[in-house]
Amino acid sequence: MREFTKQAKIPGFRPGKNVPESILISYIGKETVKGATIESILKRTLPHALSSVSGKALEDSIRISTKFSEMENSFSSMKSLRYDIFVDVAPEVKWNPEDGYKNLKVVVEIDKEIDAQTAAEQELRRRHKALGALKIVVDRGLQLGDVAILDISAATIEQDESTAKSIPSAESKGFRFDTEDEDKVLPDFMNSIAGIKRGETKTFPYTFPDTWEQEDLRGVRALFTVDCKELFFRDLPELNDATAEKILAGCSTIEEVKETLLQKFLEVEQTAKEQAADNAILDQLHKMVEVDIPPSLFEEQGRQLYGAQLLQIQANMKLNEKQLEALSSPKAVKDFLENQRENITNIIKQNLAVGDIFKRENLQIVTDEIVKEVENSIDEFRRHNQEYDEERVREQVQEVLEGAKVLEWLKERADIQFITK
């Protein structure tokens, strides 16, 4: 009533002066006063009600389930106010087996393309080839090391030739085929057209392997027709100390070139191995924990993933306002959450598992490290003129640093085996 007295401008009474309660209620309206009273009660009692889950309640998950109209009715008839609150609390992480994370056995698959020695040799060959000139082949057919310009067509092989269908995805006009990169086209393609000359056509049957990336072509028998339009060979300078500087600036010998390239790709290989090991460990963690994930936590994580995906799409495609609005619609978000339910759930379980290990093992992060990373993150936001919430930035930095600390701790104790696939 005091608040209403301060705000109300009632004829015959100076603002802020005492007004008889009956006149004040008559002027403002009984229902308005009752609504304000209920709001005041909520503000006073809600913190007390939530004190029982202090430190466990998830941010932004608090919701009053009782309708305001129901509160008004009960408050009038019963002279008391009752309301129900729902709040999501931080879930409890249960490990199966208990403490299983302390002696992980992890098998990490590494792509053979990141092998440092292989990658360094390929890079040296690529740089060497860039120094050469393509010259027309006139007196022989295609052989390893050549470059051919091909027209390629293909059709399925059927018992009834009239039902044979062309295979558009296997067709190409003016295809530049570098015989040293044959692994980037059909397996065994080089052997099928070896010896083809400029102006010649070769036809050969081919069965797509069961591992072919296009599923509808796996195991399909096809007839390929290849026309050789042009045929070139590379006129390369000798690979020696005289060409070292041209291959890699700052190097005076070919051995120095090889060593420099190898060191570069060893760093790349190490980074890739560490990332692969981190991913393999995280993948094991989410399988070892049982967690009852609250709806608000699931939705928050899902919306973060969708927001990041939307930013990536916007950066790559430059969406217009209408397209952006469609992708940001409640239906689009809901569909994403449903389609990515398993992925979102696994990410949450990984995050909770990491957080639980950090607490269980009493791991620590140096305060100066947090401050420095927060400052770097804020500088990045300012540099791109982006809005930010400093508290949220600090929370995210804390999560990232905790995650890195846990992964470091786990890798020191894990049995990690690397295999090449």
Q: How far is residue 359's CA from residue 365's CA, in Å, rounded to a whole number?
A: 12
The DSSP letter of residue 222 is: E
Tell me, what's the pLDDT at 353? 94
Closest to 408 (Cα-Cα) out of 288, 274, 316, 303: 274
Q: Say which residue the tokens 């304000």 belong to.
A: 36
CA distances from 19 to 4, 6, 13, 25 (A): 10, 10, 7, 10
Q: Say which residue the tokens 């705000």 belong to.
A: 7
Q: Identify whether the C-beta of residue 357 lies closer than 8 Å to the C-beta of residue 311.
A: no
What are the residue ranges of CATH 3.10.50.40 in the chain? 133-235
Q: Identify whether the C-beta of residue 257 lies closer than 8 Å to the C-beta of residue 247.
A: yes
What are the residue ranges of CATH 1.10.3120 in the chain? 254-420
Architecture field, domain 133-235: Roll (3.10)
The DSSP letter of residue 372 is: H
CATH 1.10.3120 fits 254-420, yes or no: yes
Q: Say which residue the tokens 């991913």 belong to.
A: 279
Burial class (CB in 10 A: 0-12, 13-18, 19+), 247: buried
Q: What is the pTM of this model?
A: 0.64
CA distances from 135 to 79, 130, 181, 193, 384 (A): 98, 14, 19, 20, 49
**DSSP helix/strand/coil, 415:** strand
Q: How far is residue 360's CA from residue 363's CA, in Å, rounded to a whole number?
A: 8
Tell me, what's the pLDDT at 411? 92
Tell me, what's the pLDDT at 259? 96
Q: How far is residue 364's CA from residue 230's CA, in Å, rounded to a whole number?
A: 65
- Extract the tokens encoding 265: 């790709």
Tell me, what's the pLDDT at 162? 65
- Three-class DSSP labels, 251-295: CCCHHHHHHHHHHHHHHHHHHHHHHHHHHHHHHHHHHHEECCCCH
Angle at CA of residue 196, ends 192 and 198, nearest 5°: 145
Burial class (CB in 10 A: 0-12, 13-18, 19+), 340: middle
The β-bridge relationship of strands 133-136 and 221-235 is: antiparallel
Tell me, what's the pLDDT at 226? 95
Tell me, what's the pLDDT at 290? 92
Total Cβ atoms within 10 A of residue 205 = 10
- Extract the tokens encoding 245: 């500087």
Tell me, what's the pLDDT at 120? 92
The β-bridge relationship of strands 201-207 and 63-64 is: unpaired
DSSP codes of every residue in 71-102: HHHHHHHHSS----EE--BPPPPEESSTTGGG
Q: How far is residue 34's CA from residue 277's CA, in Å, rounded to a whole number?
A: 62
Cis peptide before 91 (omega within 30 of 0): no
pLDDT tens across the length of the chain (421 residues): 878 877 777 777 776 677 788 888 888 888 888 888 888 889 999 888 888 888 788 877 788 888 988 888 877 766 778 889 888 888 889 999 888 899 899 998 888 778 889 889 989 999 999 998 999 998 999 999 899 999 999 999 887 666 678 899 889 999 999 998 876 778 888 999 999 999 999 999 999 988 888 888 888 999 999 999 999 999 999 999 999 999 999 999 999 999 999 999 999 999 999 999 999 999 999 999 999 998 888 988 999 898 888 888 877 777 777 887 888 888 988 999 999 999 999 999 999 999 999 999 999 988 888 899 989 988 888 887 778 888 888 888 988 999 999 999 999 999 999 888 7
Widest Cα–Cα separation across the chain: 114
Phi, psi of 377 (to 5 degrees): -65, -45
